[in-house]
């Protein structure tokens, strides 16, 4: 009796989802520890520094001011890490609404212009497909912010066609695409494969990077 390939696929999908859930729980645990520990301690130290600066009318020793600057930068980095570790829960306004808010954040905090365009609506996608779109676009935007040094990023959401197609492109420094990949790209590829889709990356050093997410056929 030949094994049923659909049974194998369902077991494989279940195992992949179980692994994804475990990773999500672990990320949430680490995020809580960072927030309740390091972030809270840094915020407290900065508050004490500000009280001291008020009492001394800003006439603090230069070395103390250097320490104050280091603490502020460290807290900023911890908060960015916490934001990256949060699960990509889709808000009430959907993927597009979340991306609009992220566009404003990128412009305000990082000076990066994010251009959004869409064809069709996300309602045409299954809920699990929408979740993968949210996760992949979020990770791609994080890579733009951290690595590309690009001042502009274009996100195109093609919901109308089958398979759906998502593009995230920047004009940054790019990189040589090799067989190996960082954890971010590996995670995006695994998420795409988990719904029967695929992820492709096109990049050239000095000429930017484009991430393509193809939905299942």
pLDDT tens per residue, range 75-89: 887 877 776 666 556
> Which CATH number belongs to the domain containing residue 127 in this structure?
3.30.565.10
Nearest to 211 by CA among 141, 147, 163, 127: 141
Give the chain's domain count: 2
Residues 73 and 103 in one domain: no
Determine what percent of the chain is predicted with pLDDT higher than 90: 42
Instruction: Give the end of a domain, one of 65, 85, 105.
Output: 85
Is the pLDDT at 138 greater than 70? The verdict is yes
Tell me how crowded residue 121 is: count the other CB atoms within 10 A of its CB: 13
Residues 169 and 206 in one domain: yes
What are the φ and ψ backbone dihedral angles of 164, each rounded to 5 degrees? -70, 155
Task: Give the range of the structural domain holding residue 168, as residue numbers without chain letter.
Answer: 94-214
Q: What's the pLDDT band for 19 if we cut at 50, 70, 90? A: low
Q: What's the pLDDT band for 165 if we cut at 50, 70, 90? A: very high
Q: Are 125 and 171 in contact (CB under 8 A)?
A: no
What is the C-alpha to C-alpha distance for residues 118 and 92, in angstroms, rounded to an integer? 18
Query: To 5 degrees, how large is the angle CA 47–CA 49–CA 52?
Result: 115
Q: Mean pLDDT over residues 183-191, rounded?
A: 81
Residues 208 and 109 in one domain: yes
28 vs 33, residue with greater confidence: 33
Residues 77 and 100 in one domain: no
Residues 195 and 124 in one domain: yes
Residues 123 and 207 in one domain: yes
pTM (whole model) above 0.85 = no
Residues 72 and 106 in one domain: no
198 vs 20, residue with greater confidence: 198
Q: Are 181 and 199 in contact (CB under 8 A)?
A: no
Residues 81 and 175 in one domain: no
Given this model, what pLDDT does residue 55 score?
85
Residues 113 and 150 in one domain: yes
């Amino acid at each position: 009796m030949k094994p049923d390939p659909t049974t194998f696929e369902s077991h494989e999908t279940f195992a992949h989802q179980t692994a994804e859930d475990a990773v999500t729980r672990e990320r949430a645990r680490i995020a809580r520890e960072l927030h309740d520990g390091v972030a809270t301690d840094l915020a407290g130290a900065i508050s004490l520094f500000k009280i001291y600066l008020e009492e001394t009318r800003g006439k603090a020793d230069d070395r103390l001011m250097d320490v104050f600057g280091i603490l502020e930068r460290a807290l900023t980095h911890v908060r960015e890490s916490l934001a990256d570790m949060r699960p990509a829960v889709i808000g009430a306004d959907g993927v597009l609404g979340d991306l609009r808010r992220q566009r404003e954040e990128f412009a305000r905090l990082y000076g990066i212009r994010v251009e959004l365009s869409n064809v069709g609506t996300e309602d045409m996608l299954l809920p699990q497909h929408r979740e993968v779109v949210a996760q992949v676009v979020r990770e791609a935007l994080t890579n733009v912010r951290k690595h590309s040094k690009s001042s502009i990023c274009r996100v195109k959401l093609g919901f109308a066609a089958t398979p759906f197609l998502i593009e995230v492109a920047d004009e940054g420094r790019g990189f040589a695409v090799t067989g190996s990949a960082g954890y971010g790209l590996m995670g995006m590829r695994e998420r795409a494969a988990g719904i029967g889709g695929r992820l492709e990356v096109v990049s050239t050093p000095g000429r930017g990077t484009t991430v393509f997410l193809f939905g299942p056929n």
